[in-house]
Amino acid sequence: MPSSGPQGFMLDMDGTLVDSEPLWQESERHLMAPYGVPWGREEELFTHGRSMQFVTNYMADLVQQSGAPRPDPDSFRSGFEEYMLANVGERGVVQPGVPELLTSIRQTGLPTALVSSSPRPLMEAVLDKIGRDWVGVTVSANDVTEFKPEPEPYLQAARELGVDPAWCVVVEDSPTGLASATAAGAYVVGLELAVTFDPAPRRRLIRTLQGVTATTLMEWFEPPAKA
């Protein structure tokens, strides 16, 4: 039986480690502008944390609803990747407290995964920015067939880590990510930056990662009830 502490960490990327959400929103407005379709706060919140497949299909649907022919969602996909890869390296801002958190996670020696709804090329660009020495497993949108809010991304990461997801701490900032991690059975730390979350068992809600270390996450962790 595991000890009472967590056996691994799994972290979201966009919004959690890097403040890339403004760039995503900027790219969405940029891609919709030629169609004359507005993209505002409602659309941003609806797509927050969703997979590229979900977002690009939603964008194509909005264009069609405006009376124009439905564009190929893949045209949006390639536009996203081009725009984000051109900007995330220089303009993506590492969230406060993240460098210290990642260093402390590495020092624990516990298996750790990065789990993102972003495509693999963008994940690699972010890892180039924040470093790779803290992470052992990476799961991108290219590596799964079902996306957040389904549990598959976190279940896949836990399998690759060799750890029961119920004994992992997940850090997430979106409703879809929180739902995914919760469905996978993990203990979830919800980072309330763009949205707020409802309290729930095995969930802690915070407003910043400043001052949060691996030790903090380990102290917050609650073992699953069946333990």
- In this structure, the chain runs to a length of 227
Q: How far apart are CA 221 and CA 74, in angstroms?
A: 40
Whether the bond between 149 and the residue before it is cis, its omega within 30 degrees of 0, is yes
- For the question of whether the overall pTM of this predicted structure is more than 0.85, the answer is yes
Per-residue pLDDT reduced to its tens digit, 168-222: 999 999 999 999 999 999 999 999 998 999 999 999 999 999 999 999 999 999 9
Is 14 designated active site? yes
Domain boundaries in the chain?
8-20+93-220, 21-91
Catalytic site residue 128? no
pLDDT at position 2: 54
Q: Tell me the DSSP string of 101-157.
A: HHHHHHHHT--EEEE-SS-HHHHHHHHHHH-STT-SEEE-GGG-SS-TTSSHHHHHH
Give the residue among 128, 117, 89 at the shortest CA–CA distance from 13: 117
Catalytic residue among 14, 19, 143, 173: 14
Class of domain 8-20+93-220: alpha beta
Can you read off the two tokens belonging to residue 162? 């060799």
